[in-house]
Amino acid sequence: MVLWLVPITINMQDFGGKASKINVPVEKPVTPSQVAFVTFYAPQDNKDHRTHFDDSTYKDLSKYSMTNIADYCSYHGFAFFFRNNYMVDTVNKAAYWGKMDVVKHYLDAGYEWVVWTDIDVLFLSKESMLDRWLSRANSTQHMAFVTECTREEGKFGTVRSGFFAIRNSKIGRGFLDAWKDTFAEFKGNWNPEQEALEGLVKKEPWQSAAYVVPQDGIHTYLGCLHYDPNPISVHFPGFDKGAMKEYHEKYKHTKKKKEVCELISRLEQDSIGSLISDNPTPVLIALNASYDSLITGHQLKSVFDKYPGYTKIEMFVGSKPYSYIFHDSADSARQVFEVLDCKESVELGKTLLLAYANELPEFPERPLRIKEDIEKLDGIFYFPRFVSLEEEELLTRHVKEQGESGRWEILHQRSVQHYGYRFDYPANDVDRNAIDLDNEIVQLPEWTRNILGRYMQLFPHLPKPNQLTMNHYIPGGGIPYHTDRHSSFLSPVLIFSMASDIVMDFKSLDEKVTSVVLERGSLVVMHGKARYEYQHAIKPRNVDIIDGLVQERTERWSLTFRTIRDGQPCQCGTILCD
């Protein structure tokens, strides 16, 4: 017989000792096809199985565990047999005593090892292979058991009857018979076959034939999860349907999460490893929450900002199907992860799938905070609510009416109307002949008087505008980077915004871009540097990110007021000067 020495770590801490590595001789590796998993639950019409809990409890649990165990087995190539009868004298014996017969039945079928698992067990990890566990049993060991902390918190040493394996050998089978024979002695006990097992494995010849693994991650009891946070399987006390459901959901979602990650890495042609980290990092990825999935920044923030350590979220418009949530430490992120991962979120209306971020991408430029930040741009004067909401609505109505007058000139991403003087786009200059429609000079409209009056009060020393360009944008529209032509107009240039907030990008001579928000009802005065040395643009998009939150654009009108330059061309000499 060939013997291998397999190094394994036995965690003796549970028994008061230190973790130690020992070499265990094994006979030959067990191949998956030699292993069968078996379980059953007693069906409802079996009135006399006398378990502690009624049939329906186990029937309900089995809904989760059956697919779960089957899934685990098929992944590893183990056979799995589920029975809903337990092959014993149902009149006289409680269901607990059925497992010996069922295990024996499948040993008879020729399997090298038959693993019994109670039905109130879930597999939480696919990664570890039970066949390796069984391979570690040496040739003199015929029964493989796990211990669990039971009854008294933190106390180990109890061999569990809910999860064990029997070798197809004379001793293995003999053990099953001996166990079955304890029925008379234990039948009145609370946990009869469990207590019988505990007694039996302390006796010879069984003790020397038992391979007992301390709680080392193979199997654990729900209440003992803190001893090993990553067991392969977890035993739920039969009555704890709620907990089992929760874990089952988690397992299901872990699977889903893997699929989502694979999809992302395929889409981005990048490895999963560069996207997510196996260990906690301060940044979480919400794998299934993005603008694309119609989640707004407000919603996502409301999920996370109630936990300590939250700092900010980063979302992407149109480029990534996931979002990032920043925390002040990996530990804060981990705590949030443990609470929210794979849980149904009321705010988001879906089950949130989280991961720890590994490499961070470049995040979109953040629009500055309104008012104080926009005014950091040299020469910008910004008035967030230059007119009241009512006045703005009235003005918008006027503008819409003008629109119906049919004077709109349709440009690439917007439409325009000119008053006072026309801007000749092909010539890229203002037409210095005043607009004359039917022998009537088109003055700046009457309804702009209030805006201009207020402006003149604030800036009496600046030139009075005599030209107006009315712009109309529908969502998706915009205006490319430009400087209003130096030789056509003086400084300043005014923009009054109506009906929709919009993000405007300013680009300085050294190409630095600053995105600011022009709120509806606001007036921005671009003077000096802001007027001559910055280019401005509105990106053609449907949505803007304003203070980290997505905002859908709606139809917008703006009024650009300028003063035409008479004769003297601009002499500023900057690179943007014509």
Ligand X SMILES: O=C(O)CCC(=O)C(=O)O
Give the binding site for ligand X (CB under 6 A).
469, 471, 479, 484, 495, 518, 536, 558, 560
Nearer to ligand X, 107 or 530 (CB): 530
β-bridge partners, 234: 122, 220
Q: Residue 496 CB, nearest distance to ligand X (Å)?
A: 9
Nearer to Fe ion, 112 or 484 (CB): 484
Closest to 488 in 3D by CA, of 433, 534, 431: 431
Q: Residue 479 CB, nearest distance to ligand X (Å)?
A: 5
DSSP assignment of 508-568:
-TT--EEEEEE-TT-EEEE-THHHHT-EEEE---SEEEETTEEEE---EEEEEEE-B--SP
From the list Fe ion, ligand X, none, pick the one residue 332 interacts with, judged by a Cβ distance below 5 to 8 Å according to partner type: none
Closest to 238 in 3D by CA, of 451, 91, 54: 54
Q: Report strand pairing: 143-148 vs 210-213.
A: parallel
From the list ligand X, Fe ion, none, pick the one residue 182 interacts with, judged by a Cβ distance below 5 to 8 Å according to partner type: none
Please give the distance of CA 154 from its chain centroid, rounded to a whole number: 35
From the list ligand X, Fe ion, none, pick the one residue 39 interacts with, judged by a Cβ distance below 5 to 8 Å according to partner type: none
Q: Residue 502 CB, nearest distance to ligand X (Å)?
A: 7
Nearer to Fe ion, 161 or 497 (CB): 497
CB atoms within 10 A of CB 11: 17
Q: Residue 419 CB, nearest distance to ligand X (Å)?
A: 13
Give the separation between CA 543 and CA 536, rounded to whole angstroms.
18
**Interaction residues for Fe ion, span 70-99 (CB under 5 A):** none
Q: Residue 524 CB, nearest distance to ligand X (Å)?
A: 8
From the list Fe ion, ligand X, none, pick the one residue 514 interacts with, judged by a Cβ distance below 5 to 8 Å according to partner type: none
User: Cβ(312)–Cβ(337) under 8 Å?
Assistant: no
Q: Residue 374 CB, nearest distance to ligand X (Å)?
A: 13
Q: Which tokens in the block code for residue 233? A: 């399987």
From the list Fe ion, ligand X, none, pick the one residue 558 interacts with, judged by a Cβ distance below 5 to 8 Å according to partner type: ligand X
From the list Fe ion, ligand X, none, pick the one residue 471 interacts with, judged by a Cβ distance below 5 to 8 Å according to partner type: ligand X
Q: Residue 474 CB, nearest distance to ligand X (Å)?
A: 13
Element (H, E) at 82: strand 79-83
From the list Fe ion, ligand X, none, pick the one residue 159 interacts with, judged by a Cβ distance below 5 to 8 Å according to partner type: none
Q: Residue 556 CB, nearest distance to ligand X (Å)?
A: 7
Q: Residue 397 CB, nearest distance to ligand X (Å)?
A: 19
Nearer to ligand X, 117 or 500 (CB): 500
From the list Fe ion, ligand X, none, pick the one residue 495 interacts with, judged by a Cβ distance below 5 to 8 Å according to partner type: ligand X
Element (H, E) at 289: none
Q: What is the dihedral of CA 194, 199, 203, 207, to 10 degrees?
A: 40
Nearer to Fe ion, 139 or 535 (CB): 535
Query: How far from 461 is each of 450, 451, 455, 494, CA to CA, in Å?
Result: 18, 16, 11, 15
Quick check: 14 binds Fe ion (CB under 5 A)? Answer: no
CB atoms within 10 A of CB 202: 11
Give the separation between CA 333 and CA 325, rounded to whole angstroms.
9
Residues 6+ away with beta carbon under 8 Å from 479: 413, 414, 471, 536, 537, 538
The 3 state secondary structure assigned to 320-333 is CCCEEEEECCHHHH
From the list Fe ion, ligand X, none, pick the one residue 469 interacts with, judged by a Cβ distance below 5 to 8 Å according to partner type: ligand X
Nearer to ligand X, 38 or 470 (CB): 470
Closest to 502 in 3D by CA, of 525, 479, 484: 479
From the list ligand X, Fe ion, none, pick the one residue 289 interacts with, judged by a Cβ distance below 5 to 8 Å according to partner type: none
Residue nearest to Fe ion as judged by C-beta position? 484
Q: Residue 495 CB, nearest distance to ligand X (Å)?
A: 4
Q: Which tokens in the block code for residue 317? A: 């418009």
Nearer to ligand X, 200 or 559 (CB): 559
Give the per-residue contact string, 446-485, with Fe ion (x = CB under 5 A; - = no). Answer: --------------------------------------x-
Q: Residue 557 CB, nearest distance to ligand X (Å)?
A: 8
Nearer to ligand X, 138 or 415 (CB): 415
Q: Residue 330 CB, nearest distance to ligand X (Å)?
A: 43
Residues 6+ away with beta carbon under 8 Å from 7: 21, 22, 23, 24
Q: Which tokens in the block code for residue 337? A: 């992860």
Give the separation between CA 572 and CA 486, rounded to whole angstroms.
8
Q: Which tokens in the block code for residue 323? A: 């979002």
Nearer to Fe ion, 234 or 570 (CB): 570
Q: What is the dihedral of CA 255, 343, 234, 30, to 10 degrees?
A: 10
Nearer to ligand X, 206 or 506 (CB): 506
Nearer to Fe ion, 130 or 452 (CB): 452
Prior bond of 463 cis (ω within 30°): no
Nearer to Fe ion, 326 or 419 (CB): 419
* Interface ranges with Fe ion (CB under 5 A): 484
